[in-house]
A and B are shown apart, each in its own frame.
Chain A
Amino acid sequence: MQRGALDLWVGVFVMAGLGALVILALKVGNMGSFTAPESYTVYAEFENIGGLKPRAPVKSAGVVVGRVTGIEFDTQVYKARVRLDLDKRYPFSKDTSASVLTSGLLGEQYVGLETGADSVMLKDQDKITLTQSAVVLEKLIGQFLYGKAAEGGGTTEAPAK
């Protein structure tokens, strides 16, 4: 009798523990959403990737179509070589362009893909040639300030003449 009650409680305990793990995997983790068991790998070379990190999403038209699975620096061309694992369900044309974008003003960075018009599709281990680098905020502000200074210089000089 005592043993039976004890076994029951231990059973409930183990079930609850495993249940908590399943809840964590499905509800908290991304097990339910993007897993991509079937994927193909393409590479893209960027002049500057900004703050892009491995595991960042690859999106096309806002839909997650893959993940960044590796970033390395290629000393042959002095560019960043980004490895993208894309879902097999989504083929992209050979002249697809890739750009490093930011979600929101200061949000996480992701790779955006825009498909081209070519009828030949990207294959496994292919390289995306059309790339656009990340927007670096400091450069942008620098350009803005230079532009303002040039403008301002023009207006302050005008009355002096």
Chain B
Amino acid sequence: MMFGRNPLSVRGIGANTIDAIWRLGFAARFFGLTVTHSGTSLRRPRLVIREVYYTGVLSLIIIIVSGLFVGMVLGFQGYQTLNTYGSESALGVLVALSLVRELGPVVSALLFASRAGSAITAEVGLMKATEQLAAMEMMAVDPIARVMAPRFWAGVISMPLLAAMFSAMGVFGGYLVGVVLIGVDEGTFWSQMQAAVDVREDIMNGVIKSIVFGITISWIAVFEGYDAPPTAEGVSGATTRTVVTSSLAVLALDFVMTAFMFRGM
């Protein structure tokens, strides 16, 4: 933040630390404001539906294509290793568990952060830079209720749906490679998968993960846009920070949640 001050000097480190804590506190207060100002989104669901279109529907192609390819690669790689131990019948289990528990929520969250999160930050940041948010306030329209909350909730709604589609497409991709291409027996592929994947333990935990990721990414994206310096440089920096911060947050949160959910019985 402070130009002309050596970031490695004691004063620089102190200033950066205080700045980071200040921003964290502001972000937390902003999160609370967004949640308490969500009444407008409930009364006017059109606002949220419009944002679900921009964040969710437009992310469909990348999610579906990535899911399909990740599943197909899992099919190839899993078969390679499992075949060494003569247990290629467990291919379905491997593909389904890795997708439903980890890859589905995490990879779709990373894609969502770069595809939709950056767009939200850029849009909100430009609205601030061109003083549209200030104009709303002049007209007694609350920008947090009118602009931030619908985008936030659209992200929270879209994320679990996108993650579920990613996992489903991935399983289909694994089926294409494993059963159709390589020739693993179709019956054992599905029956072993169904015996090993538990609806509550595996699928519900994956959904919980993706809801948490949705909250995190939408919060970071909306906040970075709201907090962006009102310059072209500021908006570009905020967009970059959104992608970097939310990707790191997703990976860190995933580790914590995995440690709680699957602590290896």
Question: Residues of A with Cβ closer than 8 Å to B?
Answer: 3, 6-7, 9-10, 12-14, 16-18, 20-21, 23-25, 27-33, 53-55, 57
Contact = CB atoms under 8 A, between A and B. Distances in A.
* Residue among B100, B164, B198 facing the most chain A CB atoms (10 A cut-off): B164
Given A23-B168, A28-B96, A29-B197, A6 B161 contact: no
Contacts of B161: 13-14, 16-18, 20-21
Contacts of B193: 28
B53 A10 contact: yes
Main secondary structure on chain B at its contact with chain A? helix
Interface in B187-240: 190, 193-195, 197-199, 201-203, 207
B168 A20 contact: yes
Interface of B: 46, 49-50, 52-53, 56-57, 60, 96, 100, 157-158, 160-162, 164-165, 167-169, 171, 190, 193-195, 197-199, 201-203, 207, 265
30 contacts: A6-B49, A7-B49, A9-B57, A10-B56, A13-B53, A13-B56, A13-B57, A13-B161, A14-B161, A16-B60, A16-B165, A17-B164, A20-B167, A20-B168, A20-B169, A21-B161, A21-B164, A21-B207, A24-B168, A25-B203, A27-B171, A27-B190, A28-B100, A28-B167, A28-B194, A29-B194, A29-B199, A31-B199, A53-B265, A55-B198
Given A10-B53, A20-B168, A33-B195, 15 more contacts: A3-B46, A7-B49, A10-B49, A13-B56, A14-B157, A17-B165, A18-B164, A20-B165, A20-B167, A21-B160, A24-B100, A24-B203, A28-B203, A29-B194, A29-B203
B198 A30 contact: yes
* Residue among A3, A24, A27, A31 facing the most chain B CB atoms (10 A cut-off): A24
A7 B194 CA distance: 35
A67 to B, nearest CB: 10
Contacts of B199: 25, 29-31
Nearest to A54: B265
Contacts of B100: 24, 28
Nearest to B161: A17
B126 to A, nearest CB: 21
Q: Which 9 residue pairs across A and B have the least CB separation, nearest first? A: A17-B161, A20-B168, A20-B164, A29-B199, A20-B165, A21-B164, A13-B57, A29-B197, A9-B57
Contacts of B160: 17, 21
A46 to B, nearest CB: 17
